[in-house]
Amino acid sequence: MLVGRQSWSFDRGPVILGAAAVVGPEEGKGPLGQDFDIVHDTMEIGEKTWEKAEKKLMLDAADEAVRKSGVDRDFINFYVGGDLLNQIISNSFAARTLGIPYFGIFGACSTSMEGLALASMMVHKGAARHVLAGTCSHNCTAEKQFRYPTEYGSQKPPSAQYTVTGAGAAVIGTEGDGPRVVRATIGRIVDLGIKDPFNMGAAMAPAAVDTIMTHCRDFGITPGHYDLIVTGDLAAVGYDIARELFARHHFPIGETDYRDCGLMIFDRERQSVQAGGSGCGCSATVTYGPLLRRLQAGELKRILVVATGALLSPISFQQGESIPGIAHAVAIESGRG
């Protein structure tokens, strides 16, 4: 059901039947390392190129999510996925292997919740019984495409972020046991003129604030309705800006525990990740790994995941364009009493 201008309410609560988070070595060394399903010990993951390694991450996460769901792959109606690479090749080539009818989407780092929202809508409206949603990123492919190849060894400013090497996937179904997707708010583009590709947190923060405030307004709730609100990958710079914007709007974010996946996944004191994590795999792995585990264990009952994306490309940057920001919010409940 449409709520307000840009939100959906799922009264029958599509169920997350199975989910998986697969990461690389640096993510495995971080504070959440023990909560991921698979931790690869090399960046190559046994492949000859970074791009093939990223596809392997996506396939690993998809296979594990399907296995945990208990649903035969032949009974999954659609796969909704995307990533950061040109023409979303990691997911398109993974979909080739999976053999599941495929919707390819691009929301930059917001793709995780964009995909989950769309998958939930399909299930909720009876357009599918089971939908697989997934996304991925790899530090070396992102550096190669958007900045400088890793081998170049360029220095980065403190505002830069470290792209997460990881993939997350979830199987959404009409009925069963598991956390339920109960609401979603689809974000709008917010662009305040930031042009620095090494400061994407600043570019995305206004969109995150706009979506969270809209979500609460549309549903007539306050942030305290949730045990936890997490943004996708604002990291240190964007997270601080978001808090300043909330204060400026007198929005009571202090009613809940507000955190950021880009700050949760790494230990900035011990790991060289500049401002923190980013990438499609950032919010995907944190959500489909540690956060769902906490929901299933009853430690959390209601969470709002707000995946943030910087919708730039190498061409738009070279042509002097600013960086459009987007954020999509999905509310997940434990399904317990």
Q: What is the pLDDT of residue 337?
A: 45
Map out the domains of the chain with their CATH numbers: 2-173 (3.40.47.40), 180-333 (3.40.47.40)
- Report the sign of the C-alpha dihedral through residues 74, 282, 155, 44, in that order: negative
b (16+ CB within 10 A) / e for 276-302? bbbbbbbbbbbbbbbbbbbbbeeebbb
Q: Using one digit for the tens of pLDDT, what is the confidence trace for 146-172?
A: 665 555 456 665 567 789 999 999 999
Q: Using one digit for the tens of pLDDT, what is the confidence trace for 264-280?
A: 999 999 998 888 999 99
Q: How far is CA 207 from the centre of its chain?
A: 15
The tokens describing 40, both together, are: 């690869």
pTM of the model: 0.95
The tens-digit pLDDT sequence of the chain (337 residues) is 999 999 999 988 899 999 999 999 999 999 999 999 999 999 999 999 999 999 999 999 999 999 999 999 999 999 999 999 999 999 999 999 999 999 999 999 999 999 999 999 999 999 999 999 999 999 989 887 666 555 545 666 556 778 999 999 999 999 898 999 999 999 999 999 989 888 888 999 999 999 999 999 999 999 999 999 999 999 999 999 999 999 999 999 999 999 999 999 999 999 988 889 999 999 999 999 999 999 999 999 999 999 999 998 888 878 999 999 999 999 999 975 4
